[in-house]
Amino acid sequence: MDTASFDRYRDAWNSHDVDAVVEFFTDDGVYEDAALGRLNRGKAEIRAFVEETFAAFPDFRVEDAGSATIDPSGRFANEWTMSGTHEGDTAIPATHQSFSLRGASVGEFEADKIKRNSDYWNMAEFLVQVGILPQPPAV
């Protein structure tokens, strides 16, 4: 897997192509969203997670914040910014507010597929941006 693969993976997310996103994973792949405490095992659970994401955030986008790093063993790290508008109910009712957050993915490839991907981003900042939590006081 190479950095061009990350471009294609990002493009699949940005075009909201559920099938393309899911096909980047091994059959037993794992997609973890650490901020949500959600561990999706296998293509069926990954598909459900991606579909829920697009339903809740119909304008969801991911932009690279830096270049991906891939070591010879297949481990990777990638920084990104995700954005969208909270239009669908999730664990919280839709707020119809926009967000833009930095985050990072770490994981590992098996041949040309993602074996494991773990995303890390700031849930508190998301909740502030979509109007659930108040803006913290300036320090």
Give domain status of residue 139, yes or no.
Answer: no
User: What is the rounded average pLDDT of the residues 77-85?
Assistant: 96
pLDDT band, very low/low/confident/very high, at 95 (cuts 50, 70, 90)? very high
- Confidence (pLDDT) at 1: 67
Strand stretches in 14-110, DSSP E: 25-33, 38-41, 61-64, 69-70, 75-85, 98-110
Domain that holds residue 74: 3-129
- Tell me whether residue 137 is in a domain: no
3-state DSSP assignment of residue 75: strand
pLDDT at position 65: 80
Report how many domains make up the chain.
1
Return the pLDDT at 138. 85
Residues 38-67: tens digit of each pLDDT: 999 999 999 999 999 999 999 999 998 877
